[in-house]
Amino acid sequence: MQDEVEKIIEIKNVRKIYRMGNEKIYAVDDVSFEILKGEFCCLLGTSGSGKSTLLNLMAGIEKLSGGEIIIKGKNIHKMNENNLAKFRQRYLGFVFQSYNLMNSMTALENVEFPLIFKRVKTKRRKLLAKDMLLKVGLGSRLNHKPSEMSGGQQQRVGIARAFVSKPEIVFADEPTGNLDTKTAMEVMNLIKTISKENNQTIVMVTHDRRLADYADKIIHILDGKIQSIEVIPNDTMENDPTLEKADKETAATEDNIDKMVLEEKDMSLPQIDVDSLSEIENVSINTIDGDKMTDINEKERGIEE
Ligand SMILES: Nc1ncnc2c1ncn2[C@@H]1O[C@H](COP(=O)(O)OP(=O)(O)OP(=O)(O)O)[C@@H](O)[C@H]1O
Ligand SMILES: [Mg+2]
């Protein structure tokens, strides 16, 4: 008997109603669908259609007005704050449109960040972060701060940070929104290549049909409702010229791991201790722990608006 593919996310009759004075805004209006493990799912719709609201509900960042969201068999909106924070930390990764990197930290330190909360030891943490940065083609920018990198490079750091702890699900809201077309395609290829390598599930929001073509499944959204669900049969990566480059970088990464261990003592990364991190950029430990994800998101929304 063939194994059934796991339904990793189940959205059941989900609603989000915002009240503005006497007006009710049905941002998400009775939406139901499922996402399978390893699937690249895209929420596609015009501005104001409710994509970000739906993504934030799925990530447990916003509260539901109705319905249920089941992730890995758990009703995430029934969890208490603490358990939800742990759940996010264990299973979820995030990529933001405006990168949300720590400006005073290097690329390497930014990517190490999620591993600190997973209590990964310093040496292994550095190795994993460096490996991930090589994978996204930033081996020569490890000690650069965000202000010393291009937008595309910053977003590759953002991707390395989201994927470094190998979360089962990665949520991305317009991850290429600030990038030119060519860089956007490269970033999309990276997300797709890395997620397929590790059988990770991607839920990505976009208004751009060309980017949605990278997905296995497209949920078309209009006025808070699902218009249609499209399953993409072919794999767009097969004919993509940028894939070859990404593959080479991956191969180089694997070859370089031993060398990286030897180079470890030459790394100029200062010892990061958790107490000092809490003061950096006014971001509390809880921010990444999950408790204050709302704050990150609000910051993100503030920048977008
Ligand atoms: N905090 C809020 N309070 C009131 N209304 C809101 C709030 N957040 C979103 N909305 C409304 O809900 C609807 C959906 O917003 P949402 O941000 O989900 O759209 P979107 O599809 O992500 O759009 P965009 O592509 O512009 O980011 C919009 O009409 C928006 O004005
Ligand atoms: Mg949005």
Block residue for tokens 């209009």: 222
- Ligand 1 in contact with 207 (CB < 6 A)? yes
CB-neighbour burial class of residue 246 (10 A; exposed 0-12, middle 13-18, buried 19+): buried
Spatial CA neighbour of 203 closest among 40, 53, 46? 40
Task: Name the residue of 15, 26, 31, 51 whose CB sits within 8 Å of the most ligand 1 atoms, as the mutation to test its pocket.
Answer: 51
C-alpha to C-alpha distances, 51 to 158, 219, 242, nearest whole angstrom? 21, 10, 28
Ligand 2 geometric centre to CA of 252 (Å): 36
Which contiguous run of DSSP H or E holds residue 18? strand 7-20
Would the CB of 67 count as within 6 Å of ligand 1? no
User: What is the spatial order of strands in the sheet that 7-20 belongs to?
Assistant: 23-36, 7-20, 66-71, 74-75
Q: Encoding tokens for residue 29?
A: 């209006």
User: 166: which DSSP letter?
Assistant: -
Residues around ion ligand 2, judged by CB within 5 A, are 52
Tell whether ligand 1 has an atom less than 6 A from the beta carbon of residue 177.
no
What pLDDT is stored for residue 244 in this prediction?
Answer: 45
- Does ligand 1 have an atom closer than 6 angstroms to the CB of 297? no
- Regarding pTM above 0.75, the answer is yes
Q: Note the pLDDT of residue 280.
A: 34
CA atoms of 129 and 289, how far apart (whole Å): 18
Residue nearest to atom 27 of ligand 1 (CA): 47
Domain edges within the chain: 38-55+90-304
The CATH topology of domain 38-55+90-304 is Rossmann fold (3.40.50)
Q: Is 25 near ligand 1, meaning CB less than 6 Å away? A: yes
Ligand nearest to the CA of 63: 1
Atom of ligand 1 nearest to the CA of 304: 27
Q: Say what the pLDDT of residue 281 is.
A: 34
Q: Whose CA is nearest to atom 29 of ligand 1?
A: 48
| pLDDT per residue as tens digits for the range 21-36 | 999 999 999 999 999 9
Whether the CB of 50 sits within 6 Å of ligand 1: yes
pLDDT of residue 290: 34
Q: Which amino acid is at 23?
A: E
What pLDDT does 222 receive?
A: 98
Residue 234: the pLDDT is 64
Residue 72 is predicted with a pLDDT of 97
Residue ranges, the chain, pLDDT below 70: 1-3, 234-305
Question: Using a 6 Å cutoff on CB, does residue 58 contact ligand 1?
Answer: no
